Chains A and B, each alone.
Chain A
Amino acid sequence: MNFQDLLLALQEYWRAQGCLLEQPLDLEVGAGTFHPATFFGVLGPRPWRVAYVEPSRRPTDGRYADNPMRMQAYYQYQVILKPVPPDVQDLYLQSLVSLGIDLKRHDVRFEHDDWKGPTLGAAGLGWQVVLDGLEISQFTYFQQMGGIELAPISCELTYGTERIAMVLQGTNSVWELRWDQAHTYGELKRESERQFCAYNFEAADVGLIAKLFEEHEAAAGQLLQAELPYPAYEQAAKCSHLFNLLDARRALHVTERERFIRRIQRLTRGCAESYLKLSRGQHKPDTAPD
């Protein structure tokens, strides 16, 4: 199965499970969790099923395209199920079957891995799903988002699409993956991977990034004051990526790192609170006729 067919198959499968198919966020983010369809979607009482591909960037994970499966940019497939159906583990396993993974031939495991996204004020319990020793998904029951206790609970399924494709194609390196019949992943991405590693680890202007962080932080604060949580949230997401860049440049000491995380957390928390306040206003006729 070519890489692009795998993404299509996941879309098909989750559409059949009643998921709305969203499109990626047009910002640099570290994970599909940052998409507003997840961040805002899991807040509040409204049932919500959504799935989408999210191109993700994690500057510190770059290895100059020398490592067979670690890189700074990749494609996550993200599913949110709210509320959580009782057979959610089976739904997930069946999605693997739909990709052609024979569960009897392979070793599929749910391994303890609780997830915390401190910048998003997110916390959940769950597993990493491990296929023949390889971590292919993160499976999380969100308990909190934006520092707010969730009700109902949402389940987040995050697929590492390249890794699953590697298992299906039997390749030992992501760079050899067939994207379609004519192109490999390496042909399409290897050069940009190298250049971004050089940027993340060496060329990125620390002074400029630190300044941008301050400015986006200030902008987010102003937008929150104006009760515009969506634009404010985008500014916070920008801060998060800039923070990741500073981290990759090792420009932050441990205590400083903590302080930056708390600054972003304050913003995302504000976004979550503002969003809930506004949406309660909108839903007023439903909940409290007056």
Chain B
Amino acid sequence: MRDLVLEIGVEEIPPGQLPELARQLSSAAQAELKAERLAYQALRVDYTLRRLVLFVAGLQQQQSDSRREIKGPPKRAAFDAEGQPTQAALGFCRSRGAKPEELIVKTTPEGEYCFLERREAGRPTVELLPELLPRVIERLVPKETMRWDDSGLRFVRPIRWLLCLYGDEPLGFSYGRLRAGRLTCGHRALGASQIEIKDTQDYFKQLKANGVVLDPSERRAQVESALRVIADEIKAQPLASPDLIAEIADNLEHPHPVLGCFSDAFLSLPSEVLATTLVEHQKFVPFALGSQASPYFVGFRDGGADEDGTVRAGYERVVGARLTDSQFFFELDRRTALVERARALRTVVYQEKLGSVWDKVGRIRKLAQLIAEQVGTSDPEALDRSAFLCKADLLTAMVGEFPTLQGIIGGAYAKLEGEPDAVALAIREHYLPRTAEDELPQSEGGSVLSLADKLDTLIGSLASGEQPSGSRDPFGLRRAAIGVIRIALAKSLKLDCYALIRRAENLYHFIPNRRPISVVENYLGERLYQVLLRQYGIAYDVLDAVIAAHDGNFGRVLEKARSLEAIRGAERFRSLVIAFSRACHITRDQSAHGFVPRLFREEAERELWRAYLKAEGQIKPLLACGDFAGVIEQLVGLRQPIDRYFDDVLVMTPDRELRQNRLGFLRAIVELFLNIGDLSRIVVEGAGAAEGRKDAKGVS
């Protein structure tokens, strides 16, 4: 057994693509080794922006032998009564170059058959790898690819060298215009430009000695620990998200921190502007002093210590120029009040069919008001003011320069203009959550405004014919829907989205060839299903049941689902599902509605009616206070009367009047259940959906 190292040397790969390429390299190598029956002890992939490194420990030196069975004629055709091979058997053996004695008989699902066994000796690994490794590299599919010479190869950036060692043996395969060998190069500033590697152990030793930190998690740890040390020294706190740290660590081969400082004069800029200027353009880490911004920042150079301060001076020069630019935008912006900018939104097109951003703001204000009517608000005036101003910052120079500051800069300017804190905060928070994992708005105003903005995007776009697909979602509808759902769930708002959408419908009558409002409800329902399935771990059949009930209060849908999950294992629930499914299937596709008790003929009918009246009376208050477990227990009480009903009563009686009455009554029972959900969708033993369908067929 020997170790294998493959190093793919590439010109600087965009750091954002590295983790995915490393993952692909690992899975491609595993798949190819498996396909060639090459066993190993361990496999890992390291990377820097200049190299992807596959390391396979304890790779066996010989492919495992293979055993193959060739199927021949059935036993009864292959041997005669005396057990002698027939012509069929002899012919089969001849065609495979085997003797009849080699035939073995095996039992297969089709009966007993003759087989021949063939063994193939494994090939040596050194012979296989030069064929296998190019296939591994070919399996890497970067997000973007380019050409760089006439070899026809495409990759994310030009591949410039390949190192491949199996133990101490170089495997000289060709790839494009390259030939793999034992040469690599060290860090650009700290290492040699050409290094000859003896063996796989020597590879890791040499790279370390030549200034390359191969392991991404080690680089990350180095960045983090350097930030801690500096934070202690200057008594300030680094503002570095895990994403920023990962991006810094993946953008170099040898991190070394450089502490810099900018002029205090820039501290008058909003702290978000300072942080964004440092982070977005330079990937520098800003520092805070408590809740205040500080003039300190740390950049990471790729190399060793900055002994004469050259790099520091450079970093400070750039930051100074960047902040001068930000200050230019800030002063320019402050000359025009947000109110004026809000009015100027008339000239900014939102979407072709949905008018200007000014029109959108008008709808957001009405939606915010409707939402507030449902969930209540402590300050309706502040809410409307924040709705009026929320998009004004789109016209600022600062958002032009830093689009990620939208909302944040509007909030900061609102505060500087003396707007109430609630208004500034709502503006700041109304884009949240920006992604499926992003934080939610914390304030009441921010939550309502975010809902209003996202619902307008959803209703407007979907009603005007936009339909997002897996790969195409230009208006971010998926993100908007998930945002609405997450806020509704997390804030346990008394918000009924469907009721709200129907009330808001008249705001969208201007759209030509408008699609019905139900497309919005369906779209939200589909996303709700996904969120509850993935983020809350609710089983799919329970989700089918509760979402079928079409309840626009998403917090309530979640509670119903949880109550069903809690009881689904119980025997009494199983029989309830079976009983309900019968009622459900027999009434499906029937138009009967309503019933009169005087047409009840059987005792079982009257008994179920009494039970129904009792349960209905109990369920109303339970629903109102959200006690869904209690509702389910009430429904469980109906199980026996329903069972008896089906035992004693012929629903599909030839008497039309009786039949309609019975169907109408069962329909009412079903409706009572639908307060929780369509329980027939829940998979329980003995009540599969298939059986349910059979029932329905039997009676129609």
Asked whether A187 is an interface residue with its Cβ less than 8 Å from the other chain, the reply is no
Check if A132 sits within 8 Å of B14, measured CB to CB. no
- Hey, what's the 0/1 contact readout for A130-161 against B, CB within 8 Å counting as 1? 01111000000101000000011100000000
- Residues on B with beta carbons closer than 8 Å to the beta carbon of A114: 144
Q: Which residues of A contact B147 (CB under 8 A)?
A: 141, 143, 151, 153
Interface code B306-325, partner A: CB below 8 Å = 1, 0 otherwise? 11101101110111110011
Cβ A86 vs Cβ B160 within 8 A: yes
| Bound Cα distance A99, B193 (Å) | 21
Whose C-beta in chain B lies nearest to the C-beta of A132? B314
Question: Within 8 Å of chain B (Cβ to Cβ): is A230?
Answer: no
Whether A17 is near chain B, meaning CB under 8 Å from some CB there, is no
Are A134 and B325 in touch, CB under 8 angstroms?
no
The reply to whether B150 and A151 contact each other, CB–CB distance below 8 Å, is yes
CB contacts (< 8 Å) of B314 on chain A: these are 106-107, 131-134, 167
Contact of A107 among B11, B16, B301 (CB under 8 A): B301
Q: How far is the CA of A255 from the CA of B347 in the complex (A)?
A: 12
Q: Quick check: is A91 within 8 A (CB to CB) of the other chain?
A: no
Inter-chain contact A253/B347, CB cutoff 8 Å: yes
Q: Provide the residues of chain B in CB contact with A151, threshold 8 Å.
A: 147, 150
Q: B129-149 CB contact bits vs A (8 Å, 1 = yes)?
A: 000000000000000101111
A111 cross-chain contacts in B, Cβ below 8 A: 12, 251
A151 to B147, CA, bound (A): 9
Contact between A172 and B146 (Cβ–Cβ < 8 Å)? no
Q: Tell me whether A112 and B15 are in contact (CB under 8 A).
A: yes
A67-B148 contact, Cβ under 8 Å, with A132-B314, A133-B315: no
Q: Are B12 and A141 in contact (CB under 8 A)?
A: no
In the complex, A253 Cα to B349 Cα: how many Å?
9
B310 touches A105 (CB 8 A): yes
Contact A107 B302 (CB under 8 A): yes
Quick check: A68 and B320 within 8 Å, CB to CB?
A: yes
Number of interface residues of B (CB under 8 A): 49
Q: Is A166 an interface residue (CB 8 A)?
A: yes
Q: B66-109, CB under 8 A of A: which get 1 and which 0?
A: 00000000000000000000000000000000000000000000
Chain A residue contacts of B328, Cβ below 8 A: 63, 66-67
- Is B188 close to A, CB under 8 A? yes
Cβ–Cβ < 8 Å partners of B284 in chain A: 133
CA distance A107 to B315 in the complex (A): 10
Tell me whether A109 is interfacial, beta carbon within 8 Å.
Answer: yes
Chain A residue numbers with a CB within 8 Å of B347 are 253
**Is A133 touching B325 in the complex (CB atoms < 8 A)?**
no
Please, how many angstroms separate the alpha-carbon atoms of A132 and B284 in the complex? 12
B-side contacts of A106, CB under 8 Å: 310-311, 314
Given the interface contacts A125-B144, A132-B310, does A112 sit within 8 Å of B16 by beta carbon? yes
Q: Nearest A residue to B178 by beta-carbon distance? A: A86
Among B315-341, those with CB < 8 Å from A are: 315, 317-321, 324-325, 328
Q: How far is the CB of A145 from chain B (nearest CB, A)?
A: 14
Residue of chain B at shortest CB distance from A69: B321
Mark B651-689 against chain A: 1 for CB-CB distance below 8 A, else 0. 000000000000000000000000000000000000000
Pick the residue among B149, B189, B258, B315 that contacts A83 (CB under 8 A). B149
- Cβ-defined partner of B320 (8 Å) among A125, A172, A255: A172
Q: Tell me if B186 is interfacial: C-beta within 8 Å of chain A.
A: no
Chain A residues within an 8 Å CB radius of B170: none
CA distance A52 to B282 in the complex (A): 30
A84 on the interface (CB 8 Å rule)? yes
**Max count, chain B CB within 10 A of own CB: residue among A66, A108, A125, A133:** A133
**B303 near A104: Cβ-Cβ < 8 Å:** yes
CB atoms of B313 and A132 under 8 A apart: yes
Given the known inter-chain contacts A103-B188, A133-B282, please indicate yes or no for A109 contacting B144, CB distance below 8 A. no
Q: Is A127 an interface residue (CB 8 A)?
A: yes
Decide: B157 and A68 in contact? CB cutoff 8 A: no
How far is A63 from B397 in the complex, measured between Cα atoms in Å? 13
Contact with A along B161-204 (1 / 0, CB 8 A): 00000000000000001000000000011100100000000000
Decide yes or no whether A110 CB sits under 8 A from chain B: yes
Residues on B with beta carbons closer than 8 Å to the beta carbon of A143: 146-147
Given contacts A86-B149, A104-B189, A108-B188, 16 further A-B contacts (CB under 8 A): A63-B325, A67-B324, A84-B149, A105-B307, A107-B258, A107-B306, A111-B251, A112-B12, A132-B315, A133-B282, A134-B314, A170-B313, A172-B317, A253-B349, A254-B349, A255-B349
What are the 5 A-B residue pairs with the smallest beta carbon separation, nearest first?
A132-B314, A112-B14, A107-B301, A110-B12, A133-B318
* A residues adjacent to B (C-beta < 8 A): 63, 66-70, 83-84, 86, 89-90, 93, 103-112, 114, 124-125, 127, 131-134, 141, 143, 151-153, 166-167, 170, 172, 253-255
What would be 10 A-B contacts, judged by CB atoms less than 8 Å apart?
Answer: A67-B325, A84-B149, A108-B302, A112-B15, A125-B144, A125-B146, A132-B317, A141-B147, A166-B317, A172-B317
